[in-house]
Every structure is written in structure tokens, then in C-alpha cells.
Amino acid sequence: MKKMLVLLGSPRKNGNTEKLSLSFADGAREAGAEVNFIRLSEQSIKPCVDCRKCWETGKHCVIEDDMETVYAAIDNADVLVFASPLYWYSWSAQIKLLWDRLLPYASDKAAKTLKQKGCVLLAAAGDVASDVFSGMDFALDKSTSLLGMTILGSVHASGVEGPDDVEGTDWLEEAKRLGMECAR
């Protein structure tokens, strides 16, 4: 059974990003996966200070905050789902903090690795421009490549600005299908 971790990067509860994530989880669970969620806006996560002690101490990070729990969940997962609204053509602040704190996995000296883990992007934006997600996609591609992860798929839900705009769209069904595919 695959273990999936949804990292919710939206501060809005029950908004479009969360609804995409729940639909993804429904599909994954139907296909037999275990799915866990971490709402990043409810965690106390400090910014990375780039001290590089993570590669010397044998533990993920010397900063003592809620990221310790997040690291344990990441280490236990087979697939990481990065769920974020599009803010200024990139990640939300909540998920950007998490990305910065993935530095411990970026060295051959690291105690743990993300190599061989799958990853998924679930993103929502009010904008409808065809290239609106290109900044986020670029960051995802470069970051997962550096970390040795495999991108399993993404859902880019555009035109969903209000908290319920994703309701009644094909985006939810697409997220559910992706969840099922990633669980196999």
C-alpha cells in the first residue's frame, strides 16, 4: 500500500486547494493508498537559515519547530503531494517555507533522501492565462530534479478565485483520477 502525504499550503480552510486535495485523496484511497494531511498554516515552521548543519549532525535540522513532525511524515511517505494556491505566480508562503526546509535532503551527506519518492502538484489560481502556472512548474521541476524525486502528475485549476469556484468543475474529477493513478 502506498503512503501519500498531502502538504496543504493554503491558509484557507475548505477552499479550492483543499477541495482538490480531498478529491485527490478520495481517488487514492479508492485505489488502496493511505493518505495523510498536514495543514502547513497550522504548523510553526521557521525559515531555513542555510547553516548546512543538517548535513553534519545526523538529524534533519537544528531548528526546533514543527518541521520535526513534518520531516517524520515526509520520511514515511512514498508520494508527496504539494497543494498550493498560486500567489504571485508561485507558491504560497506556507509551502515556500516547507520547500526551503527540504535542504537537508539535497546533499549526498544527508542522513535521509527523497530519491525514489513520487510527487504531485495540486494548484489553484483565479487567473486563467495559459502560462499562469509556469513559475510554479519551473520551481517544481528544478527542485524535484535536484532532490531525485519523480513528478507523477499535476492538476492546474485555473479560474477558481472564490472559495467554492472549484465546485462543479472538471478539476475535482481530474484530481480524483490522478489520486487513483498515483496509488497504483
Domain that holds residue 8: 3-183
* pLDDT mean across residues, the chain: 95
The pLDDT-based confidence of 163 (bands split at 50, 70, 90) is: confident
Q: Using one digit for the tens of pLDDT, what is the confidence trace for 13-68?
A: 999 999 999 999 999 999 999 999 999 999 999 999 999 898 888 889 999 999 99
pTM score: 0.96
Per-residue CA distances from 132 to 30, 84, 87, 160 (Å): 31, 14, 10, 13
Question: The domain spanning residue 58 has which CATH number?
Answer: 3.40.50.360
Q: Using one digit for the tens of pLDDT, what is the confidence trace for 110-125?
A: 888 999 999 999 999 9
User: How many domains does the chain divide into?
Assistant: 1
Q: What is the pLDDT of residue 31?
A: 98
